[in-house]
Amino acid sequence: MIARTPDSPPLRIAVLGSGSGSNCQSLIDAIADGTLNAEIVGIFSDVEDARILERARRHDIPGRYLSGAPFKTKIEGEAETRYLEALAACGAEVIALAGFMRIVKHGLLSRFSNRIVNIHPSLLPAFPGVHSWEQALRYGTKLAGCTVHLVDEGTDTGPIIIQRAVPVLDDDTPETLHARIQVEEHIAYPEALRLIADGRITIRDHRVLLPTAPATPPHPAALDHKGL
């Protein structure tokens, strides 16, 4: 992880996405309102007409289609070289995956060790992989949610930075549950990047350690009759 403090220059983030880019928009908005000390230096998509590239154009952020060929589900070989060159050219310090539907492989992981962040629509380690909200409904879990984590060699197995939960309602459909999870995603992703930008996370033994808030005294009503 990069050594930073709250007074550091804006964190240089590159976003990789394959779809609409709503989580990318949450980062753009947080930067615009001054709650995230960062700059998005590039938005790259493996889908030529992805809406995330429209967001880049609308906000005057450099955006570019980068083919993932010859593979369909991963970034490796020639494609990995293309991405590494583009990331180096824009001076990216951290990569934020925002609905990027390809597996990141060794070259990117080694170049950006502990500097690739992903958001996943479940409370990991439960329900990794695709359509996690549908998995949660089929399983009958009472809580769903989202997880922001660092990316490693596994599938949704990297150290967890932040999680936010939502209840699963008896009348939920995949669409209604997914929509409520997305609301929490748009809160969690800027929050996690804010922790990184301010240098407030430490990684130890596959765990992300976060700063703790100062302890507050117990409310008098919480004390028993002996005042202990």
Q: Domains for the chain: give ranges and CATH numbers.
A: 11-202 (3.40.50.170)
**For 191-218, how does the pLDDT look when each residue is reduced to its tens digit (9 = 90+)?**
999 999 999 999 999 999 988 754 444 5
Model confidence at 228: pLDDT above 50 = no
**pLDDT confidence of residue 33:** 97
**For 109-121, how does the pLDDT look when each residue is reduced to its tens digit (9 = 90+)?**
999 999 999 999 9
pTM score of the predicted model: 0.90
3-state SS, the chain, equals CCCCCCCCCCEEEEEEECCCCHHHHHHHHHHHCCCCCEEEEEEEECCCCCHHHHHHHHCCCCEEECCCCCCCCEECCHHHHHHHHHHHHHCCCEEEECCCCCEECHHHHHHCCCCEEEEECCCCCCCCCCCHHHHHHHHCCCEEEEEEEECCCCCCCCCEEEEEEEECCCCCCHHHHHHHHHHHHHHHHHHHHHHHHCCCCEEECCEEECCCCCCCCCCHHHCCCCCC
Active site residues: 120
**For 120-179, how does the pLDDT look when each residue is reduced to its tens digit (9 = 90+)?**
999 999 999 999 999 999 999 999 999 999 999 999 999 999 999 999 999 999 999 999
